Amino acid sequence: MTETQAGSTLEYLVARCAMGDRIAFADLYQATSAKLFAVLLRILKNEEMAEDALQDVFIKVWHKATEYHVGKGAVMTWLLSIARYRAIDLLRRAKTAVQVDAEEGLEERAANEPDVAELAGRAVDNARLNTCLDELEGPRRACLVLAYCEGYTHDELSQRLGSPVGTIKSWIRRGLKVLKACLDGEGDYRG
Amino acid sequence: MSAEERDMRAAEFVLGTLDGEQRRAFEKQMDHDPALRDLVNLWEARLVGLNDTTSVVQPPQRVWIEIERVIAPGAVDDAVQAPLKTPWWQSLMLWRMTTAAALLALLAVLVPVLTQGPVQGPEALPVYDVVLRDTQDQPQWMVVCDWRAREVAVSRVAAAAPAAGKAHELWLVRGEGVAPISLGVLSGNEIQRSLPANATWRDTKALAVSLEPAGGSPTGVPTGPVLYAAPVSI
């Protein structure tokens, strides 16, 4: 392994961050921040909140770099998870704090989103995941995508799709089980 | 909770559909339930491809400037010229790059030496073999540290030569707040060095190799990142 090869991998950059290497940290930010920022924006729908969240995420990454290990999955998966969880926490907190009228907030968010049919049909690059998503009918697929990418709760999905919460919950669980069986049956879905 | 229910809860946590309170409770549970965390990591890997439906958006420069300011107060905006937040040799993080396996191997070497009796005063000094590993846990250098003869022998296992204008420098790391002692630049495949008078085995916590400018650190302490390291005491 030459230093150049090693330096080109995110794993190596994180390992160097764990040792306090700020240059590696800047490289990691350079390589990943645009993707993470887009994910945060999509969930939070607010630039200022997304900027704050991105800052929190990278400060956390700097301090938690020692806790990363390959068992947690690929570095990008780890980073995206930290970002999504941060955004979802902020979203849930904002709701409790401001007591946003659910419907009003939802309409505002829905106005900036593609419609369910479009979402349900949207392809992902990962061919295997795509194939597996194709096994789900429209609303089931839309539930998973809206929850994952937009941070929707069961209640919000219920309002958005006009189906009872109980139905939404069972759609999601059913969808998750179908995905798991399909992905795990296909062997390695991490590629 | 059934195994299936646990798995579904993990999936819903990753998906994000749990409400705020449920999320917090779940996170607490994960802290002391590694198997649950593993389920979560598996779901993260299964669903991560959904992020492909999101493109990329460059964040404004001010975000990075703010991050820099928080992690390194007083740092300049250009990371390349900024000092490390704390020198790596003062940081306990160094020990974490070394595995439990390395520690066990080391104990296997150290324990017989340290428990040999009868102890003959200060002459009962250890001789130990240390394998320096890179961040991928691959062995790169073998070091025999002989505190009786006060000599160090270093053999290259796999470490690649540094880039032009750079050097690998070996250090005795003495823990937090104490500067490491340089054992000089490593060049060639077999290197012999005398241990400096101020080095003692009791103070030595780890051996490490850092990346330095050609000719070695200009300041007497490591200036570049650590590339290879191993603990030598606990």
**pLDDT score of A111:** 56
pLDDT, averaged across chain A:
81
Chain B residues with CB under 8 Å of A183 CB are 46
Give the separation between CA A5 and CA A96, rounded to whole angstroms: 47
Under 8 Å between Cβ of B167 and B160: no
CA angle A182, A186, B1 (to 5 degrees): 50
Contacts of B137 (CB under 8 A, 6+ apart): B99
Distance of CA A146 to the CA centre of its chain: 11
Give the separation between CA B233 and CA B174, rounded to whole angstroms: 10
pLDDT band at B229 (very low <50, low <70, confident <90, very high): confident
Say which residue, B225 or B123, is predicted with more confidence. Answer: B225
- Tell me how close the Cα of A50 comes to any Cα of chain B, in angstroms: 9
List the single residue in B41, B47, B66 with the smallest CB-CB distance to A55.
B66
Q: Are the beta carbons of B88 and A19 separated by less than 8 Å?
A: yes
- Tell me how close the Cα of B137 comes to any Cα of chain A, in angstroms: 11
Summarize pLDDT for A69-126 with one digit per residue, the tens: 777 778 999 999 999 999 999 988 876 544 444 455 555 555 555 565 565 555 565 7
Give the separation between CA B126 and CA A44, rounded to whole angstroms: 59
* Structural element, H or E, at residue B29: helix B20-31
**pLDDT score of A116:** 55
pLDDT band at A1 (very low <50, low <70, confident <90, very high): very low
Long-range contacts of residues B19-23, Cβ cutoff 8 Å, at least 24 apart: B19/A92, B19/A153, B20/A89, B20/A92, B20/A93, B20/A95, B20/A96, B23/A85, B23/A88, B23/A89, B23/A92
| Segment of A27-31, A90-94, A133-137, B102-106 carrying the highest mean pLDDT | A27-31
Q: Are the beta carbons of B211 and A3 separated by less than 8 Å?
A: yes
Say which residue, B134 or A178, is predicted with more confidence. Answer: A178
Predicted confidence (pLDDT) at residue A45 exceeds the cutoff of 80: yes
Give the separation between CA B128 and CA B124, rounded to whole angstroms: 13
Check CB contact of B101 with chain A, cutoff 8 Å. no
With H, G, I as helix, E, B as strand and everything else as coil, classify residue B116.
coil
Check CB contact of B19 with chain A, cutoff 8 Å. yes
Q: Report residue A6 as tokens.
A: 């090693």
Q: Are the beta carbons of A21 and B41 separated by less than 8 Å?
A: no
With H, G, I as helix, E, B as strand and everything else as coil, classify residue B207.
strand
Check CB contact of B3 with chain A, cutoff 8 Å. no
- Tell me how close the Cα of B126 comes to any Cα of chain A, in angstroms: 28
Interface of B with A in 124-163 (CB under 8 A): 134-136, 138, 158, 160, 162-163
pTM of the full structure? 0.59
Q: Report residue B74 as tokens.
A: 């007083």
* Structural element, H or E, at residue A131: helix A127-133
Summarize pLDDT for B128-183 with one digit per residue, the tens: 788 888 777 778 888 988 888 899 999 988 888 888 888 999 998 876 667 889 99
Under 8 Å between Cβ of A170 and B69: no
Interface of B with A in 56-85 (CB under 8 A): 56-60, 62-64, 66-67, 70-72, 75, 79-80, 82-85
Average pLDDT of span A48-63 = 95
With H, G, I as helix, E, B as strand and everything else as coil, classify residue B117.
coil
Give the separation between CA A116 and CA A145, rounded to whole angstroms: 9
Helices A75-98 and A22-44, packing angle to 10 deg: 50
Check CB contact of B14 with chain A, cutoff 8 Å. yes
What residues pair up with B131 in beta bridges, in sequence order? B142
List the single residue in B45, B97, B211 with the smallest CB-CB distance to A18.
B97
The mean-pLDDT minimum among A158-162, B96-100, B209-213 falls in B96-100
The secondary structure of residue B159, as a DSSP letter, is: P
Long-range contacts of residues A37-41, Cβ cutoff 8 Å, at least 24 apart: A37/B56, A37/B57, A37/B58, A37/B59, A37/B63, A38/B54, A38/B55, A38/B56, A38/B57, A39/A80, A39/A83, A39/A84, A39/A87, A39/A149, A39/B51, A39/B54, A40/A83, A40/A86, A40/A87, A41/B57
Give the separation between CA A57 and CA A82, rounded to whole angstroms: 7
Contact pairs from chain A to chain B, CB under 8 Å: 198
Average pLDDT of span B8-27 = 93
Say which residue, B232 or B5, is predicted with more confidence. Answer: B5
Other beta carbons less than 10 A from residue B34's beta carbon: 10
- Tell me how close the Cα of B77 comes to any Cα of chain A, in angstroms: 11
Tokens 């993470």 label which residue?
A36
Buried b vs exposed e over A124-151: b needs ≥16 C-beta within 10 Å? bebebbeebbeebeebbbbbbbbbbbbb
| Segment of A90-94, A169-173, B50-54, B225-229 carrying the highest mean pLDDT | A169-173
Distance of CA B53 to the CA centre of its chain: 36
Summarize pLDDT for B64-113 with one digit per residue, the tens: 989 988 887 544 443 343 344 455 655 544 544 444 445 555 555 555 55
Chain B residues with CB under 8 Å of A74 CB are 45, 48
List the single residue in B52, B59, B71 with the smallest CB-CB distance to A33.
B59
Give the separation between CA A161 and CA A168, rounded to whole angstroms: 9
List the single residue in B12, B50, B63 with the smallest CB-CB distance to A55.
B63
